Copies of this chain bind each other. A is one copy, B any other.
Amino acid sequence: MFIRFITTGGTIDKIYFDDLSQFEVGESQVQHILAEGLVDFDFEVVPLMHKDSLEVTDDDRRKLCEFIEQDDARRYVITHGTDTMPETAEALRGLSDRTIVLTGALTPARFRTTDAIFNVGMAVAVAQVAEPGVYIAMSGQVFEAGKVRKNRAENRFEKIV
């Protein structure tokens, strides 16, 4: 079993710079999370972007699509900022024969209390178990691309009904 992880930035990878008193996207936390999960399968992590979700452009989404199209893996976990995660999921729907799961975090992985570890755990399971397709794993749930939105007021992901 092989999973390709693609990191694009977002809250999950945020770090804090004391001298600036602000947060910026730092190096990917996925490896640390997988090590903590004591995972025992083959994987590679490709850091494709370091962007806040709101900065991700349609051009970025095209590049992500092309990267996966030309790649030979069957299972993908993509870490992504939460605000435009549903849009990026939609943009990947054309890709066939692959199980692609987007996830991220509402609180940075470097925090003592964070949803990052739980979410990556979910994504890794979905990448193994689900039918080919594009999914989002957030808020303890697995959503299909195109049927999910972020409810910013409530700070959670929910099904579009």
> Which residues in A have some Cβ–Cβ distance to B below 8 Å?
1, 11, 14, 16, 18-19, 21-23, 33-34, 36-41, 52, 54, 82, 106-108, 110-115, 117-126, 128-130, 137, 139-142, 152, 155-158
- When all copies of this chain in the complex are counted, the total is 4
B108 touches A33 (CB 8 A): no
> Could you show 12 A-B contacts with beta carbons less than 8 Å apart?
A18-B155, A36-B115, A36-B117, A36-B118, A38-B139, A110-B113, A117-B121, A122-B122, A122-B125, A125-B129, A128-B141, A128-B142
Contact B52 A141 (CB under 8 A): no
Decide: A21 and B23 in contact? CB cutoff 8 A. yes
Which residues on B sit within 8 Å (CB–CB) of A54?
21
Q: Is the CB of A22 within 8 A of B23?
A: yes
